[in-house]
A and B are shown apart, each in its own frame.
Chain A
Amino acid sequence: MSAKLARREHRTAWLFLTPLVVVMLMVAVWPLGRTFFFSFTDAYLDDPAVYGMVGISNFIEVINDPAWWSAVRNTLTFAVISVAIETLLGLGIALLLNEAIPGRGLLRAAILVPWAIPVVVATKIWEWMLNDQFGVFNRILISLGLIDHGIAWTASSSLIMGVVIFIDVWMTTPFMVLLILAGLQTIPGEMMEAAEVDGIPAWKRFWSITLPLLKPAIGVAVLFRSLDAIRMFDLAYVLAASNQNVMTVSIYARDRLISFQELGVGSAASTWVFLLVALVAIILIGALRLDRSAGE
C-alpha cells in the first residue's frame, strides 16, 4: 500500500473513532478528572461552585478514618474469599458440563439463570430465604435437625459477611463456569485420549494436562471477577445499607459524597478507591502475564 493510501486509512480510522473518543472524554475522562480535582478542594455537594483549595488534607482525612480501613479490610476479605470460592466451584461445574452427559444443554441454560437475575433481586430473594423466622433455609436446617431455632443470618454482625460472600458466589459462579468451559473446549480431545490410553490416572491427567492448559482462561476470569469484586456496591448496600461489617470502599466513598454531601472528602475517598483498583489490576496483570496477549 502506498504511503498516501496508508495515510488516508489512518484518517478514516480516526474519523470512525471520533464518536467513541468524544463520548469517552465526556463520560469517563472528564468526570474522573473532576473527581481528582474536587479531592483537593473543600467543596460541598449543595453548591460545588464555592470552594477553596486545601491540598492533600482530604486524602489524609480519609486515611485517618478507622471506618475507611475497616471498609478496605471488608472489601479485600470479600474479594479474596468470594473469587477463590467462585473459581473452585466454577472449575468443578465446568468440568461437569464438559462431560458427555444427558441434559447438558439444559444444565448450561440453568447455569445462566443466576447470572441474568439483577443483583438487587438476587439479594432480596436470598434475604427472604435466609430470614430468621420464616426463611426456607432455616426451616430446612431445623427439619434436618441441624439447628433447633432459626439463625439470624443477615442480622448477626459475624455472619453477614459470610452471607454477602454466599450470595455473590451464587450470582457470579455462572460467569466463571462459562469462561472456564470455553477454555476447556479448546483442549484437543486426542490429547486426553492419548493420555488415557497410556493409563495415566484421571487426577494426573487433570493436574498435568487440563489445569496448565486452562491457566489463561482461569487467569482472565479471575482478573475480571477480582476487579468487579473490589468495586462491589449494590449487593452489600441492598442487604445492609451502611452496616459497618460489610461496608465496602465504594459504599464508604458514596456515603461521604452523597449522604454527607462532602464533595471534597468524598472525591478523595473515590480517588483512593480508583488507586486501589488500579493497584490490584497491575498486580494481577503482572502475576498472570496477561499484558503480552492483550490486544491480539
Chain B
Amino acid sequence: MATTASTSSPVRIKRRSSAHYRLRRRVRKGALGVLILLVLAYTLFPYYWAIVSSTKQGAELYTTAFLPALNFSYYRQLFDNPVFMGSLLNSVFVATGTTVVSLALGIVSAYALGRLDFPQKRVVLMAILMISIFPQVAVLSGMFELINALGLYNRPSALIVTYLLSTVPFTTWILTTFIREFPRELEEAALIDGCSHFRILTRILLPLMGPSLASTGILAFILAWNEFLFALTFMLTDENKTVPVAIGLIGRTTRYEYPFGQIMAASVTVTLPLIIVVLIFQRRIVAGLTAGAVKG
C-alpha cells in the first residue's frame, strides 16, 4: 500500500482558504445528517406505523393521522382471546426449550471442537456447516415421519425437536469461535493437576462464558420464535399453533374485511419483547452474528 503514494502522479495541492474547508465540512455534516435521518425513517417507520395503527379504532384506522390514537381496545381483545394467548405461551415454551437444548448441546460440542485435538475435526466442522445450509423443505417428509414416530404430531414439543436442525449447528459454530478466544493457560494448570475435561468445562470455562452464552442464546431464541414453515406444517389445531402461524393465518379464513387493526396489535405485541431484548443486548448480538459469520 505504501507504493500508492510513489506511483500516483504528483498531486497538485491547491491552496484554499480555511473558510472553504469550513464550508465543506459543514456541507458534509449536513449531508450525513440527512442520510442518517433517511436510514432511521426507513428502518423505524414501519414498526412505528404498526403501533399507530394498532391504537386506532374503526374508521380512524383508515385515516393517515401520524400520531397514535391511544385506544387500546384491540390489545384488550387480544389479551382476552384464549387462542392467541395460548399461541403466545406455545411460542414462549418452544423458543425457550429450543434455546436451552441447543445451548447445552452447543457448549459441549464446542468444547471438543475448540479445545481438544482429534484428527476428524475439520470433517466435523464441515458437516456442521453443510447441515446449517439444508433447506428446511428438504427434510420435511422425513421430519413428518420422525414426529409421528415420536408420537409428537400436533404437540408444541415436536417443534423443539425440529428446530434443533437449524439452531444446533449454529450454536455449536458460534460457541466454538468464542471458546477459541479464551486463553488456553486458563485450563492448563487444572489439566496438569489431573482435572477432567468435563470439570474444566463446567468449573472453569462455563462461569466465564456468560456473555457468549447470552449472545448465542438470544440468536437461537429469535430464530425459534420467528420460525414459520415447521410450525405451520406440524401443528394442526389452533390451540397448538405458535404466534407467527397464528398471525400469518389471521384473515385467511374470513372473506370479509381484513382485520388489520387486530393484526397490527398482535404484531406489536409479539415483537416488543424481541426489540427490547435486542436493544439491551445490542453489542452481544452483533458479537454473536459476526463471530458466526466472519470467521466462518
Contacts and interface: CB of A to CB of B under 8 A. Distances in A.
A231 B162 contact: no
Contacts of A16: 108-109, 111-112, 116, 197
A295 B125 contact: yes
A277 to B, nearest CB: 5
A190 B133 CA distance: 38
A93 interface: yes
A34 B62 contact: no
Contacts of B108: 16-17, 19-20
Contacts of B43: 110-111, 113-114, 170, 174
Contacts, number: 292
A82 interface: no
A31 B139 contact: yes
Nearest to A227: B133
Interface stretch (B44-52, B74-82, B182-190): B44-52
Given A9-B118, A112-B278, A128 B139 contact: no
A125 B125 CA distance: 39
B237 interface: no
Contacts of B260: 128, 131, 134
Nearest to B165: A27
Given A118-B270, A208-B4, A96 B39 contact: yes
Contacts of A6: 117
Interface residues of A, number: 103
B141 A263 contact: yes
A294 B126 contact: yes
Could you tell me the dominant secondary structure of chain B's interface residues? helix
B133 A109 contact: no
Nearest to B264: A128
Contacts of A257: 137, 140-141
Interface stretch (A62-70, A156-164, A191-199): A191-199
B213 interface: no
Contacts of A78: none
Contacts of B278: 109, 112-113, 115-116
B201 to A, nearest CB: 8
Contacts of B126: 294-295
A23 B105 contact: yes
A124 B245 CA distance: 12
Contacts of B71: none
B248 A28 contact: no
Given A35-B139, A48-B145, A258-B233, 14 more contacts: A13-B112, A17-B108, A32-B138, A33-B142, A108-B282, A112-B279, A115-B278, A125-B47, A139-B64, A199-B13, A209-B1, A230-B135, A254-B233, A277-B138
Interchain residue pairs A-B with the least CB separation, the first 7: A31-B142, A34-B142, A199-B11, A16-B112, A231-B135, A274-B138, A31-B139
Interface of A: 6, 9-10, 12-14, 16-17, 19-20, 23-24, 26-28, 30-35, 38, 45, 48, 93, 96, 99, 101, 103, 105, 107-126, 128-129, 131, 133-134, 136, 139-140, 170, 174-175, 178-179, 182-183, 191, 194-195, 198-200, 208-209, 217, 220-221, 224, 227, 230-231, 233-234, 237-238, 241, 249-250, 253-254, 257-258, 263, 266-267, 270-271, 273-274, 277, 281, 294-296
29 contacts: A9-B117, A17-B113, A20-B168, A26-B146, A27-B165, A38-B141, A93-B39, A101-B32, A109-B279, A116-B277, A118-B244, A122-B46, A124-B247, A124-B267, A128-B50, A139-B64, A140-B64, A170-B43, A178-B289, A191-B1, A198-B5, A200-B4, A209-B1, A217-B294, A231-B135, A234-B244, A258-B140, A273-B138, A277-B133
